[in-house]
A and B are shown apart, each in its own frame.
Chain A
Amino acid sequence: MTSTFPPVEKTGTRTDPPPSPRSAVRGRRRQRTRNWLTAVGFQVPALLLFAALVLLPILFAGYAAFFRWGGFGMPSDYIGGENFTRLFKDPVFLGDLWRCFLLVALSLALQLPFALALAVMLNQRMRGRAVYRMLFFAPYVLSEAITGVLFAMIFAPGDGLADQLLGKVGLEGLGGEWFADPDMVMATLFLVMTWKYFGFHMMLYLAGLQAVPKELTEAALIDGAGPWQRFRNVTLPLLAPTIRISVFLSVIGAIQLFDLVWVITQGGPDHHSETMAVTMFQYGFKRYQVGYASAISVVMFGISLVFALAYQRFVLRRDLEGATTTMRGGVK
């Protein structure tokens, strides 16, 4: 019992004068229960809210996924795993998975390296560095909805800024139907996503770069390492924890992508830009097939969870171990 006593409490009680050992133990125990009650008392409102607004809905979605249910009243038409078998036969949902994979791959291959390159550049001494940093970060501050409306106008076929500009410089051939073209829509969408999010990743990298000790690069310089060697062998390894976090955020973001797509294309044309979240919204709030929509959300949750756990276990392990001793318990 006493062994589980938190060390903080010990230092707190040490200030009390110890009259006799026995009464001290009793007093301490009484106070401990009171402390415990106080702690519980404070947590209950928050716990209740958390349970009612987060845990219960998650559990309920898991429950509703096994019913044919219109979203009103209680689910009663139990259909087993039918929603899930239907899900994995639905070409739209399978397409969602493929598009999710595509966005992740493109983000990792293009967006993050781009952000890293900019961060390395902006980490050097140069005139107007703060202005550049602010400019590049600015798109991230805009809301997704505003970004969506903005780019829907920029990429309006023929009349939009993009086509007009291309026309002005004699590159009409490069213009096109952008979001209206089933074959172009994902590429255009990725362009917008990159515009929106590269600043955020750039900021992460910049913060990471500040923590790289100058002495190390200088030492490498003295040892005769070229710019690439210094980057590859000194900067990059020290930046690795930041990169791992940035990759993690990027992947989770791609799995949950909704706002931008909904505002710009609503998943169209003909489902060619639909994401899992958009499909879920369509079924849940347009068709009122809430049971099926719950099944989609359960799969999304599952994918995110498996990815997050696996990533923490295998990729973030070193970073977390290095952080604090208490985190170790959380990982294992």
Chain B
Amino acid sequence: MGDPALSRRGFLAASAAAGLGITALSGCGGDSDGGSSGTTTIEWWNISTTEPTKTVWAALAKKFEAQNPKVKIKIVQLENDAYKAKMTALTSSGKLPDIFHTWGGGVLKQQVDAGLVEDLTDRTKDFSEGLLPVAKEPYLLDDKLYGIPFDIGMVGFWYNKALFKKAGIGEPPTTWNGFLDAVRKLKSAGVTPLALAGKETWTAMYYWAYLAMRTAGIDALAKANEEKDFTGPGFVEAGEHLKELVALQPFQKGFLGASYSTPTGQAATVGNGRAAMELMGQWAPVVQSDAGKGLGDDLGFFPFPAVEGGKGSITEVFGGGGGHALRRGAPQAAVDFLKFFASETTDRELVKKTGVLPVVPAAEEALTDRNLQAVQKQLKSATGFQLYLDQAYAPALGQEINDSVGALIAGSKSPEQVAQSITKTAKEEQ
């Protein structure tokens, strides 16, 4: 005892044992069901981690709680990519949150096929029927509704009216040949016709996707995914049309290294008046004035032109939005919340404060932005809808489409090779 060395050893041994104990004490958490008597707590998982949406949504949840004293809403917010990863894990574990963000399409279908999602067709009939038809499109699977939208948008050409005038182009083109003519005219007027972010290949994919919609048709895009065959004539033709465009060298200098939203990127190039057009979603005006100067009244919007002899029409739109789905067996309070969230009052607030496009037709007047009004006009008269390919298809397939279309634009793949490599990846995904 009196030996100092020994007691020090004893102390060391004790602390080592303590260290062991701490290591052993790991992961002893557990779910505690907080369902106290009378009140229902519903979990609402969303990806609105940025302002102003974050605050607006939290206030809406409070408002709903005030209207329904027996319901508590627990908001769980995850950043976009983290959310996707987490949801994939939850899907394989077989348990989803009460209310969760969804983009519809392929991922939602997987969850539905696994029997994890509530069929909302009848339970929301009283209010979902009045919503903008095209906005519901991503969540309709086999004519059943599995999600309620809160936002919808589409991709189209954003163009500089002043530069079009300079090149002597009166009206925006409505056919592919007309479009190619416009590109030629812009070039000979010394204007760069198109800005493209070659480093981010999803921007190139928009061209191919729209061309495939116009040549092969929307149904063919769904069928090709099911049959894992993208080699049909319509798809090769889409690539050939894109090659015609690339052959005119329409893009800005150094586009292969350009990003989308950086100060020298695609949006800034258009926003600073150094290229006449870009093919982009409804968020384009915001990014243009954020990364560049912005065009103000010179900015216009026109839908992707029709391709002569193709199966698709100019009124079919390519886009996507955001919505909420419920887990199977979610409490009635969750349905009530969806109804509250898709009400005219809420939608007006969302349109005004968070910059989304209205999904309730009556909330349309709240939309004051001229550019978004132009998009809304197209969406209202849409005759068909194709969801963003990376959401409609499996991740690997979406990436392969981006990648091969990028290669086509860089000149290293032919239209046939693009169709083949997409098909190959589709087959690899079982």
Tell me the A residues contacting B by CB distance below 8 Å: 34-35, 37-38, 40-42, 44-45, 48-49, 68, 70-73, 152-153, 156-160, 177-182, 185, 265-266, 268-271, 282, 286-289
Contact = CB atoms under 8 A, between A and B. Distances in A.
Contact of A45 (B23, B200, B399, B428): B23
Nearest to A273: B257
B253 A177 contact: yes
Contact of B16 (A38, A68, A178, A180): A38
A37 B14 CA distance: 11
A282 B399 contact: yes
Contacts of A38: 9, 12-13, 16
B395 A286 contact: yes
Given A37-B13, A268-B406, A269-B199, 18 more contacts: A41-B16, A73-B92, A156-B254, A156-B257, A157-B257, A159-B264, A177-B253, A177-B257, A178-B254, A181-B254, A266-B200, A269-B406, A286-B399, A287-B396, A287-B400, A288-B88, A288-B396, A289-B396
Interface string B246-260: 000000011111100
Interface of B: 9, 12-13, 16-17, 19-20, 22-23, 88-89, 91-92, 198-201, 253-258, 262-264, 395-396, 399-400, 406-407, 410, 412, 428, 430
B395 A34 contact: no
A31 to B, nearest CB: 8
Which are the 5 A-B pairs with shortest beta-carbon distances?
Answer: A157-B254, A41-B16, A180-B257, A269-B256, A180-B254
Nearest to A153: B264
A266 B258 CA distance: 11
A156 B262 CA distance: 11
Contacts of A42: 12, 16, 19
A274 to B, nearest CB: 11
Nearest to A286: B399
Contacts of A70: 88
- Residue in A48, A70, A178 whose Cβ sees the most chain B Cβ within 10 Å: A70
Contact of A158 (B88, B201, B253): B253
- Residue in A45, A68, A268, A269 whose Cβ sees the most chain B Cβ within 10 Å: A269
Contacts of A268: 198-199, 201, 256-257, 406
A269 B257 contact: yes
B320 to A, nearest CB: 18
A40 B88 CA distance: 40
B227 to A, nearest CB: 20
Given A44-B23, A269-B410, A180 B256 contact: yes
A104 to B, nearest CB: 24
B256 A44 contact: no
A245 B410 CA distance: 40
Nearest to B3: A16
22 contacts: A34-B13, A37-B13, A44-B16, A44-B19, A44-B20, A45-B20, A48-B23, A71-B88, A153-B263, A160-B264, A177-B253, A177-B254, A177-B256, A179-B257, A180-B258, A181-B254, A182-B410, A266-B199, A268-B257, A269-B406, A270-B406, A287-B399
Given A48-B23, A73-B92, A158 B254 contact: yes
B20 A41 contact: yes
Given A48-B23, A270-B407, A41 B256 contact: no
Contacts of A266: 199-200
Contacts of B17: 41
Nearest to A149: B262
B256 A182 contact: yes
B158 to A, nearest CB: 21
B20 A34 contact: no
A328 B243 CA distance: 63
A72 B198 contact: no
Contacts of B428: 68, 289
Contacts of B12: 38, 42
